[in-house]
C-alpha cells in the first residue's frame, strides 16, 4: 500500500527547507545557512509527527547546509535532548566539514544514536531501506 506523503516548504533569507512526511518517516532537506527560525520549524515538524507515530525515522539531508547559527544549534540540540525516544532513529547527511564537525559533536553529547554520513548514496540507501520496511504497514 502506498504511503501518504505530506510536504511543506519553508524559506528564510538564509535557509531553504522542505519537510516531507511519509508515514513515520520525516525527511528534512535544507540548503544555505541554518538559522534559528528554520531550526524551530524543523523541531515543530518532528513534534507534529510524533503525535501520531510510536516510532519516528528522521532523515536530515543537510548536504547543502553551509553553516549554522549558534542559536539554531542550541534549539536542535536542546530539542533532541529533551525529546529523544530510544526507539526513534535519526540519519544525517552532511556535506560541509564545519557542519559535519558540529553534528558529530552534538551526536556525542546526545549519546551517539544518530547515523551520520557524507555520502549521498549511503543516505539514500538507508532511507529507501526504511521506506521499504515500513511501506506495507503504513496507511
Domains of the chain (ranges, CATH numbers) = 5-134 (3.30.750.24)
Q: What is the pLDDT of residues 38-52, one digit of tens each?
A: 999 999 988 888 888
Is a pLDDT exceeding 80 seen at residue 1?
no
More confident residue, 83 or 122: 122
pLDDT for the residue numbered 129: 94
pLDDT, residue 137, reads 47
This prediction has a pTM of 0.90
Average pLDDT of the residues of the chain: 90
Q: What is the pLDDT of residues 85-113, one digit of tens each?
A: 777 899 999 999 999 999 999 999 988 98
Q: Does the pLDDT value for residue 27 go beyond 70? A: yes
Between these two residues, 83 and 75, which has the higher pLDDT value?
75
Between CA 3 and CA 7, with CA 5 as vertex, the angle to 5 degrees is 165
Amino acid at each position: 500500500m502506498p504511503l501518504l506523503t505530506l510536504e511543506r516548504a519553508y524559506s528564510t533569507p538564509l535557509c531553504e527547507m522542505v519537510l516531507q512526511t511519509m508515514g513515520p518517516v520525516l525527511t528534512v532537506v535544507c540548503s544555505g545557512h541554518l538559522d534559528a527560525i528554520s531550526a524551530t520549524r524543523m523541531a515543530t515538524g518532528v513534534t507534529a509527527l510524533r503525535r501520531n507515530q510510536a516510532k519516528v525515522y528522521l532523515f536530515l539531508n543537510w548536504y547543502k547546509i553551509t553553516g549554522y547559527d549558534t542559536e539554531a544549534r542550541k534549539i536542535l540540540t536542546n530539542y533532541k535532548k529533551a525529546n529523544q525516544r530510544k526507539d526513534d532513529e535519526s540519519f544525517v547527511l552532511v556535506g560541509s566539514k564545519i557542519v559535519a564537525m558540529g553534528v558529530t559533536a552534538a551526536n556525542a553529547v546526545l549519546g551517539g544514536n544518530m547515523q551520520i554520513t557524507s555520502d549521498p548514496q549511503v543516505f539514500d540507501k538507508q532511507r529507501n531501506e526504511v521506506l521499504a520496511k515500513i511501506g506495507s504497514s503504513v496507511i
